[in-house]
Chain A
């Protein structure tokens, strides 16, 4: 290697060091410091601390619900693994997706006259979608109310109050955060039982 080419490497290494220092160490530290100062809750993962002081989950991350007394989230191809997220990556024409749809529709007790909303049987991209559609929540309200010995109306009212439009005029439907809805449900039962 000629000395000219050697110089090219030396200059390259000097620039590598400078960019590493400024674009990695400096940049990441600055963003981190600002994030911890202005938005410490979300910067640390939007964690929710339960009544006993332990972390019950993240507001932004779906968790498994299988008991009839809770609203159920969308299905997850990774079983709600918060440390190994992923989608089904199945073609929407595939028999695997059809089989899962059939099983879940049965579980929801869906009939052709009362079909289940599609989001409740479609796996999300990361398997951690924290939301279901407002229709999907209302579809479950009867089951949830019955399992808790409540009237359906107040549960439906809770759903409607929790539903938000993610993009205002830009998005047609409303969605509900399942974990927050279930926490509100537990809280409602605690206060009404008192």
Chain B
């Protein structure tokens, strides 16, 4: 049992890490070709300039880059808002889905624009195929592309070059990175048994003569980019626990691979653009270390059998099976819960609400840190914030001017980084406090006591981390939940993209100095330890008091 779990985890995480290396190399070529006017790269560049029009050519300042990104994201939000609001009048609606409530439309458009994919609706119940594809799947491509573009710009800035052009970057990420990978994964999912049809639901008469309506649809295309772009919003309500969204053991492995492959490759792409691959290796190692600790915790705590059955004539030979699918094996559920929250994916392969109390804490830790691989592009950007704070503290400790890659890190940059990191804590703890103390939250719970508190804490954590998973028992399709989490998702998306770009703008206005022997080497074990402790102190300890009120209290009260 233990050996099988170890082998399984090693296959998924290790195998993906291996493949992330060539993908990172490809992403560097796609996003930042050495000569963007020659050969195949030149052909790509010319076509994309035609698409983008007159603004595609010049390099942009960080402010201009940010404005272009915001303009594109406003268009993204409005287009999807319109499609969702008008779905009952639009085509590709074989099951006749009706109108959606206003605050739900706002929440859903905000959720998919911000790459969160928090879902206060259930796909097969509420949405037409057009809403799923042209509204949501489209955003799953372009919101992920926005993150990759932002990382490419940040890395160019740190390399001492102009940031580049957002309108080119977002196309490079969409067409050259996401589209081909998504196509390959979609075809593999089809081979694994995932449906891909435009036919409506089918009415079956079961062997016992009962009617059963079986929803289906263009699932494979959707699920592929949902997993790859750290989006996570499922075609069906219960996401990748649904047998038509994830039919078997091997599709489960493929979907877990797809969760972490691009976030892992993003670190290599970053390393290649700044020209410091060994530094990227150190960052990757720190990220993998955090993931390994969380996976160990989750698999261990989830191996305890369902506590509620303790005194009943029910076998206690297997771990907790509530909310889990048998075809994924015992380790599939807890492993997925870590991968999906270490990145900002948010798809689920088991019901997080029904995880054992301490297992349920591990995904929350992943989202509190939000940088141990993190979302596509933005995970590495969050890590950059921790690096800025980390080198500053280290510089203070050894009494030298803090530097990162030769750039002097001063009060202004550290203030911006800390503001972005602490905003995360404010959104989560502030929101949880308000909803836990008022009927807005208290009236929507599915579980009582500390587990109910965990439902609220998880929801705000997920919204602020742009994750999208949930303790789904929570009755979250209410106007207060829709509006509060909608606002949190948008702020928590754009603050940690804009402020890092501002930091790079500020750094690159200074003169770059050569790294000397007195500088803390960013390729050293000391740097790794410094970074890990910064992440732990800033990212995890902020939330420890809240954790004691939820999962830890439940564990102490109920588990024997």
What is the interface of chain A, defined by CB distance below 8 A to chain B?
5, 7-16, 18-20, 22-24, 27-28, 30-32, 34-36, 38-39, 42-47, 50, 54-58, 60-67, 70, 74, 80-95, 97-98, 101-102, 105, 110-112, 114-119, 121-133, 135, 166-167, 169-173, 175, 179, 182-183, 186
Docked complex Cα distance between A55 and B357 (Å): 41
When the two chains form their complex, are residues A92 and B307 in contact, meaning their CB atoms are under 8 A apart?
Answer: yes
* Choice from A45, A66, A127 contacting B208 with Cβ under 8 Å: A66
From A32, A45, A97, A166, contact of B328 by CB (8 A): A166
| A83 and B201 in contact, given A5-B71, A125-B351 (Cβ under 8 angstroms) | yes
Contact partner of B138 (CB less than 8 A), chosen from A11, A19, A88, A112, is A19
> By the criterion CB–CB under 8 Å, are A7 and B54 in contact?
yes
The docked-state distance in angstroms from the alpha carbon of A63 to that of B142 is: 38
Chain A residues closer than 8 Å to B178, beta-carbon distance: 23
A58 to B213, CA, bound (A): 10
With contacts A14-B51, A82-B214, A93-B554 taken as known, whether A118 is within 8 angstroms of B321 at the C-beta atoms is: yes
* Chain B residues whose CB sits within 8 angstroms of the CB of A111 once the complex forms: 313
Of all chain B residues, the one with the shortest Cβ separation from A7 is B55
| In the bound complex, CA of A127 to CA of B212 (Å) | 13
Query: Are A166 and B329 in contact (CB-based, < 8 A)?
Result: yes
A61–B221 CB distance below 8 A: no
Contact yes or no, B322 A122, CB < 8 A = yes
A58 to chain B, nearest CB (A): 5
> CA of A57 to CA of B204 in the docked complex: distance in angstroms?
5
Q: Which A residues are in CB contact (< 8 Å) with B204? A: 47, 54-58, 63, 82
Residues on B with beta carbons closer than 8 Å to the beta carbon of A183: 207
With a CB–CB cut-off of 8 A, which chain A residues contact B307?
92-93
Q: Give the most central of A8, A36, A80, A121: most B CB within 10 Å.
A: A8
| Residue of B whose beta carbon sits closest to that of A113 | B313
Within B182-222, the residues touching A (CB, 8 Å) are: 182-183, 186-187, 190-191, 193-199, 201-208, 210, 212-216, 218, 220-221
Shortest 10 CB-CB distances between A and B: which pairs? A125-B241, A89-B473, A35-B196, A82-B214, A171-B329, A93-B558, A98-B308, A122-B321, A8-B71, A89-B353
Query: Cβ of A98 and Cβ of B312 under 8 Å apart?
Result: yes
Q: For B215, list chain A residues within 8 Å (CB).
A: 82-85
Asked whether, in the complex, the Cβ of A55 is within 8 Å of the Cβ of B320, the reply is: no
Q: Is B373 an interface residue (CB 8 A)?
A: no
Tell me if B190 and A38 are in contact (CB < 8 A).
Answer: yes
Asked if residues B309 and A98 are in contact (CB atoms below 8 Å), the reply is yes
Are A15 and B167 interface neighbours, CB within 8 A? Answer: yes
Residues of chain A lying within 8 A (CB to CB) of residue B186: 27, 31
Do residues B324 and A122 form an inter-chain contact, with CB atoms below 8 A?
yes
For residue B53, CB closer than 8 A to chain A, the reply is yes
Among the stretches B73-81, B101-109, B429-437, the one at the interface with A is B73-81
- CB A114 to nearest CB in B, in angstroms, measures 7
User: What is the distance, in angstroms, from B188's C-beta to the closest C-beta of chain A?
Assistant: 11
* A125 cross-chain contacts in B, Cβ below 8 A: 238, 241-242, 323-325, 348-351, 354
Q: How far is A50 from B209 in the complex, measured between Cα atoms in Å? A: 12
> Which of B168-176, B396-404, B529-537 touches A?
B168-176
Q: Check B325 against A126 for contact (C-beta < 8 Å).
A: yes
Are A39 and B191 in contact, with the CB atoms below 8 A?
yes
Contact indicator A11/B327 (Cβ below 8 Å)? no
Closest to A177 in B: B327
Contact of B323 with A22 in the complex, beta carbons under 8 Å: no
Least Cβ–Cβ distance between B262 and chain A, in angstroms: 15
Contact B195 A84 (CB under 8 A): no
- Hey, which chain A residues are within 8 Å of B205, CB to CB? 50, 54-56
Whether B306 pairs with A122 at a CB distance below 8 angstroms is yes
A170 CA / B9 CA spacing, docked (Å): 10
Residue B500 interfacial (CB < 8 Å): no
**Among listed B33-41, B152-160, B244-252, interface-contacting one:** B244-252
B247's contact among A34, A60, A87, by CB below 8 Å, is which?
A60
Q: Which of A7, A44, A92, A117 contacts B322 (CB 8 A)?
A: A92
The residues of A that contact B328 with a CB separation of less than 8 Å are 166
- Distance (whole angstroms) from the CB of A69 to the closest CB of chain B: 10
- Report chain A residues within 8 Å CB of B326: 74, 119, 124, 129, 131-133, 166, 173, 175
Are B220 and A35 closer than 8 Å at their CB atoms? yes
Q: Are B53 and A11 in contact (CB under 8 A)?
A: yes
Instruction: Determine whether B426 belongs to the interface, using a CB cutoff of 8 Å to chain A.
Output: no
B67 lies within 8 A of chain A by Cβ: yes
Q: Is B293 an interface residue (CB 8 A)?
A: no
Task: List the B residue with the shortest CB-CB distance to A66.
Answer: B208
A56 partner, pick from B207, B248, B557, beta carbons under 8 A:
B207
Write the chain B residue with the least CB distance to A6.
Answer: B71
Q: Which of A7, A42, A179 is within 8 Å of B190, CB to CB?
A: A42
Whole-angstrom distance between the Cβ of A7 and the nearest chain B Cβ? 5
List B387-443 residues whose CB lies under 8 Å from chain A: none
Q: Which residues of A contact B56 (CB under 8 A)?
A: 11
Q: Which residues of B contact A133 (CB under 8 A)?
A: 326
Contact B473 A90 (CB under 8 A): yes
- 19 of the cross-chain contacts (CB-CB < 8 Å) are A12-B75, A16-B76, A31-B221, A32-B198, A42-B195, A45-B216, A55-B204, A60-B247, A61-B214, A87-B238, A88-B351, A90-B446, A93-B559, A94-B308, A118-B317, A121-B314, A122-B322, A170-B249, A171-B249
Report A170 CB to chain B, min CB distance, Å.
5
Which A residue sits closest to B79, measured CB to CB?
A16
Residue in A closest to B76 when the chains form the complex, CB atoms: A16
Distance (Å) between the CB of A163 and the closest chain B CB? Answer: 11
**Could you list 14 further interchain pairs (A-B, Cβ under 8 angstroms) beyond the known A88-B351, A97-B306, A166-B329?**
A11-B55, A38-B191, A42-B193, A43-B190, A44-B195, A60-B243, A60-B247, A87-B322, A92-B355, A114-B313, A115-B312, A122-B323, A125-B325, A167-B249
Q: A19-B141, A27-B221, A186-B207 are in contact. Are A89 and B190 (CB under 8 A)?
A: no
- Residues facing A in B348-366 (CB within 8 A) are 348-351, 353-357
Contact among B54, B190, B324 with A31 in the assembled complex (CB-CB below 8 Å): B190
* Min C-beta distance of B326 to chain A, whole Å: 5
Which residues of A have CB within 8 Å of B315? 115-118, 135
Tell which of A15, A19, A125, A171 has the most Cβ of chain B within 10 Å.
Answer: A125
A36 touches B196 (CB 8 A): yes
Contacts of A12 in B (CB 8 A): 68, 71-72, 74-75, 167
Q: Which residues of A contact B322 (CB under 8 A)?
A: 87-88, 90, 92, 97, 122-123
CA distance A27 to B137 in the complex (A): 11
Separation of A105 and B210 alpha carbons in the complex (Å): 24
